[in-house]
Amino acid sequence: MKRRDFLKGCLVSGAAASLCAPSKSWAVGSFEGYPDSMGVLVDTTRCIGCRSCEAACNKEQKLPEPDVPFDDTSVFKEKRRTTEKAYTVVNRYEANDAQKPPYRKMQCNHCNEPGCLTSCFVNAYTKTKEGAVIYNAEVCVGCRTCMVACPFNIPAYSYSSAISPIIKKCIFCYHTRLKFGKPPACVEICPQEALTFGLRSDLIKMGHERIRETPDRYVDHIYGEKEMGGTSWLYLSRVSAEQIGLDTTLGNEPIISNVKDFLGMVPMVLTIWPALFTGIHLLATRNKNHGDVHDNHSEQEDGKK
Amino acid sequence: MQNNRFWLASGMAVLLFAAVPESSRGISVPDTITLNSQSKLYEPFKFDHAKHIILTKECSYCHHHTTGTLEQDSNCVRCHRNSSETKVVSCKGCHRTDSFSAVSMKEKDPKTYHLDKPSLKAAMHRNCISCHEKMKGPIGCQDCHHRTKEGDALYNSGVFAPKKKTAKGGHGAH
8 Å CB contact between B120 and B127: no
- Residue A1 burial (CB < 10 Å; 0-12/13-18/19+)? exposed
Q: Which residues of B35-56 are buried (b: 16+ CB within 10 A; e: fewer)?
A: bbeebebbeebebeebebbeee
In terms of pLDDT, which residue wins out, B158 or A104?
A104
The C-alpha atoms of residue A62 and residue A58 are separated, in whole angstroms, by 6
Report angle CA A37, A39, A40 to the nearest 5 degrees: 170
What's domain A38-253's architecture?
2-Layer Sandwich (3.30)
**Nearest CA-CA distance, residue B116 and chain A, Å:** 7
CB contact A271 to B (< 8 Å): no
Q: Is B122 in contact with A71 (Cβ distance < 8 A)?
A: no
Q: Which amino acid is residue A243, in one-letter code?
A: Q
Which one is predicted more confidently, A162 or B8?
Answer: A162
Residue A192, classed as helix, strand or coil, is coil
Which range is least confidently modeled, A47-51, B27-31, B89-93, B155-159? B27-31
**What is the H or E stretch that residue A167 is in?**
strand A167-168
Among A108-122, A148-162, B1-15, B101-115, which stretch is predicted with the lowest mean pLDDT? B1-15
Q: Is the dihedral of CA B150, B153, B155, B159 positive or negative?
A: positive
Provide the pLDDT confidence category of residue B69 given band limits of 50, 70 and 90: confident
The single-letter code of the amino acid at B77 is: V
Say how many CA atoms lie within 13 Å of B90 toward its Cβ.
Answer: 11
- Neighbouring residues of A163: CB distance < 8 A, sequence distance ≥ 6: none
pLDDT in the model for residue B50 = 95
Question: What is the distance between the alpha carbons of residues A11 and A283, in angstroms, rounded to a whole number?
Answer: 13
Strands A156-157 and A167-168, sheet pairing: antiparallel
| Residues linked to residue A86 through DSSP beta bridges, in sequence order | A83
Contact B122 A190 (CB under 8 A): yes
Among 3.40.1170.60, 3.40.50.450, 3.90.10.10, 3.90.1530.10, what is the CATH number of B14-71+78-104+117-160?
Answer: 3.90.10.10
The more confident residue out of A46 and B82 is: A46
Q: What is the C-alpha to C-alpha distance for residues A207 and A43, in angstroms, rounded to an integer?
A: 9
Pair B79, B69: CB distance under 8 Å: no
Are residues B162 and A56, on separate chains, in Cβ contact within 8 Å? no
User: Please, which residues 62-121 of chain A have a Cβ atom closer than 8 Å to chain B?
Assistant: 64-72, 85, 100
Q: Which amino acid is at B19?
A: A
> Does A187 touch chain B if contact means CB atoms closer than 8 Å?
yes
pLDDT confidence bin for B170, thresholds 50/70/90: very low
Partner residue opposite B141 with nearest CB, options A50, A67, A182: A50
pLDDT above 90 for B79: no
| Annotated domain spans of chain A | 2-27+258-304, 38-253
Q: How many CA atoms are closer than 13 Å to the CA of A266, on its beta-carbon side? A: 6
d(CA B10, CA B7): 5
Cβ-based burial of B159 (10 A; exposed 0-12, middle 13-18, buried ≥19): exposed
Residue B141 pLDDT exceeds 80? yes
Q: Quick check: B151 pLDDT over 60?
A: yes
CA of B160: which chain A residue's CA is closest? A69
Pairwise CA distance, residues A146 & A135, whole Å? 11
Q: What is the DSSP letter of A305?
A: -
> A209 and B116: CB-CB below 8 Å?
yes
Of B105, B129, B160, the CB nearest to A198: B105
pLDDT at A22: 47
- A109 to each of A150, A207, A254, how far by Cα in Å? 10, 16, 13
* ipTM metric: 0.77
**Cβ A187–B100 below 8 Å, yes or no?**
yes
Cβ-based neighbours of B11, under 8 Å, separated by 6 or more = none
Nearest CB neighbour to B172, from listed A162, A198, A206: A162
Question: Which residues of chain A fall below pLDDT 50?
Answer: 22-28, 298, 303-305
Q: Is the pLDDT of residue B46 over 50?
A: yes
Question: Could you write out the DSSP letters of every residue in B6-61?
Answer: HHHHHHHHHHHHHHS-GGGTTS---SEEEE-TT-SSB--EEEEHHHHHHHH--THH
CB contact under 8 A, A213 and B141: no
Given an 8 Å threshold on Cβ–Cβ distance, is B100 in contact with A160? no
Suggest the residue from B100, B132, B139 to mutate for an interface test with chain A (most A CBs closer than 10 A). Answer: B100
Distance (Å, rounded) from C-alpha A232 to C-alpha A209?
18
